[in-house]
């Protein structure tokens, strides 16, 4: 491929994934107007298996493996991901040289009757596909009936409108990007419901050593998002987390410091280990690793062992 002529972007086909790929496309076109950019839509395992909770499917990278295979087979030049879907370990021949600025990382409630979490009626049916969200919500409202919810953002909103749920929990970033934020009933503070690792951050993956592509992408890098993500992913690496365990981690960059808050919870939310660490931005990875080890020593190791036994 001659990069001077064409760039191929691997993306999932959901409305949100396409928005993200098109956003990257438009940013790159602004940098190089003569470049022809093609979107290569690929269906992933996470897109195909919609009748099973994510935690029961097993494995990591359910939403990105097929995109990575397209890169490895030179059927695409870059892949655009939601970083919360990207496992710590990716193929050695690939890397993520660029992340974009972070959108609102919070989770939010969308309820059919306009109720906040506190105002939902007893035993209200709340939809979420995330063990992380479930474990934190049930601690606040143990009476709620939490049910699995799969599908893209539009599908989830349609299920709510049909009355299948009283409320659903979604990432604010996706709703904002799709101009659907008017549906939000309540934004959860990042301390009430700690976000997923990488939530709200778009990452661009490519082949290592593809210098022309790396040079094209470089101006899109956002260092604030990178430092926050570095801390969060270092935490996840230490905890060896995935969608099968309730792990949360959110880093804020304030001036020259990174503040990382994290949580490991039991599936029923009754047991939670959480802590905060902070330090210079240059030590973001060390902060994440240190916080992960602290959580393990504070009781997370036992919680994670119990979850693995249950699985």
Question: Domains of the chain (ranges plus CATH)?
Answer: 1-100+201-221 (3.40.190.10), 107-187 (3.40.190.10), 222-311 (3.30.160.40)
Contact present, 37 and 28 (Cβ < 8 Å): yes
pLDDT in tens, 175-205: 999 999 999 999 999 999 999 999 999 999 9
CA 162 to chain centre: 27
Q: What mean pLDDT value characterizes the chain?
A: 92
| Residues 129-142 as b or e (16 or more Cβ within 10 Å = b) | bbbbbbbbbbbebe
**Res. 309 pLDDT band, cuts 50 70 90:** low
Q: Which of 26, 51, 77, 85 is catalytic?
A: 85
Q: Would you state the structure tokens that stand for residue 290, as one six-digit string?
A: 């240190």
Report whether pLDDT(77) > 70.
Answer: yes
Contact present, 144 and 117 (Cβ < 8 Å): no
The pLDDT, as a whole number, for residue 55 is: 52
Give me the percent of the chain exceeding a pLDDT of 90: 85
Contact present, 20 and 67 (Cβ < 8 Å): no
Nearest-CA neighbor of 95 among 211, 3, 242? 211
Contact present, 105 and 190 (Cβ < 8 Å): yes
Region 303-310: mean pLDDT is 78
Nearest-CA neighbor of 82 among 168, 14, 7, 32? 14
Q: Would you state the structure tokens that stand for residue 36, as one six-digit string?
A: 């022809």
Report whether pLDDT(71) > 50.
Answer: yes
Is 85 among the catalytic positions? Answer: yes
Name beta bridge partners: 278: 259
Nearest-CA neighbor of 54 among 43, 67, 63, 65? 63
**Res. 269 pLDDT band, cuts 50 70 90:** confident
Predicted TM-score (pTM) of this structure: 0.92
Report whether pLDDT(213) > 50.
Answer: yes
| Alpha carbon distance 273, 295 (integer Å) | 6
Report whether pLDDT(52) > 90.
Answer: no
Three-state DSSP state, 141: coil
Region 273-286: mean pLDDT is 98
**CA atoms lying within 13 Å on the CB side of residue 223:** 7
Q: Would you state the structure tokens that stand for residue 70, as one six-digit string?
A: 């397209």
**Res. 43 pLDDT band, cuts 50 70 90:** confident
Report whether pLDDT(298) > 70.
Answer: yes
Q: Which of 29-43, 145-159, 165-179, 238-252 has the lowest mean pLDDT?
A: 238-252
Report whether pLDDT(107) > 60.
Answer: yes
| Alpha carbon distance 241, 245 (integer Å) | 6
């Amino acid at each position: 491929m001659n990069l001077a002529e064409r760039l191929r972007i691997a993306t999932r086909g959901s409305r949100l994934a396409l928005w993200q790929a098109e956003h990257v496309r438009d940013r790159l076109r602004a940098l190089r107007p003569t470049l022809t950019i093609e979107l290569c839509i690929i269906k992933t395992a996470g897109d195909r298996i919609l009748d099973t909770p994510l935690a029961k499917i097993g494995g990591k990278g359910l939403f990105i493996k097929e995109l990575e295979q397209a890169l490895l087979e030179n059927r695409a030049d870059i892949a655009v991901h939601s970083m919360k879907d990207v496992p710590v370990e990716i193929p050695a021949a690939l890397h993520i040289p660029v992340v974009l600025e972070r959108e609102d990382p919070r989770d939010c409630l969308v309820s059919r009757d306009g109720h906040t979490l506190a105002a939902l009626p007893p035993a209200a049916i709340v939809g979420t596909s995330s063990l992380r969200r479930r474990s934190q919500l049930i601690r606040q409202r143990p009476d709620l009936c939490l049910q699995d919810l799969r599908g893209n953002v539009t599908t989830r909103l349609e299920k709510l409108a049909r009355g299948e749920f009283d409320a659903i929990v979604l990432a604010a970033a996706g709703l904002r990007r799709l101009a659907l934020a008017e549906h939000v009933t309540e934004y959860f503070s990042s301390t009430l419901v700690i976000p997923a690792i990488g939530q709200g951050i778009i990452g661009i993956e490519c082949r290592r050593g593809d210098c022309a592509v790396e040079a094209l992408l470089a101006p899109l890098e956002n260092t604030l998002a990178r430092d926050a993500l570095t801390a969060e992913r270092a935490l996840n690496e230490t905890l060896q987390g995935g969608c099968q365990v309730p792990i949360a981690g959110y880093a804020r960059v304030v001036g020259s410091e990174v503040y990382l808050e994290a949580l490991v919870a039991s599936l029923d939310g009754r047991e939670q280990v959480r802590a905060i660490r902070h330090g210079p931005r240059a030590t973001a990875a060390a902060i994440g690793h240190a916080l992960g080890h602290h959580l393990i020593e504070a009781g997370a190791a036992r919680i994670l062992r119990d979850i693995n036994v249950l699985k």
